[in-house]
Amino acid sequence: MGAKEERINLRVDAETKRLLENASEAAGDTVSSFVLGAATTAARELLADRTVFRLDEEQWQAFDAALSRESRDVPGLAELMRAPTILDEGP
């Protein structure tokens, strides 16, 4: 990691502040370091879940088989995909 040049400011209520102070003390860390570590871990886990997934051999075989199957028509799917959605509505 590079030098710490950026700053993030947070506003919390007194109860949350006490909770973070108590937890960071129990962890033997500063509040800033504790919060940054927890937030960084959560961010990595959330993003990894969207880009990487792990399968055991049996799951991989099932996944590979599903990808290899011939496509088929699903009744009503084409019509559903052509139907306007909330994203097509104007402001």
pLDDT digits (tens, 9 = 90+) for 26-54: 999 999 999 999 999 999 988 987 887 88
**Report field, pTM of the whole predicted structure over 0.85:** no
| Maximum Cα–Cα distance across the chain | 60
Q: How far apart are CA 30 and CA 40, in angstroms?
A: 15
Residue 89 clears pLDDT 80, i.e. is over it: no
Residue 56 clears pLDDT 90, i.e. is over it: yes
The average pLDDT across 2-31 equals 94
Q: What is the pLDDT of residue 91?
A: 63
Nearest to 10 by CA among 34, 29, 27: 34
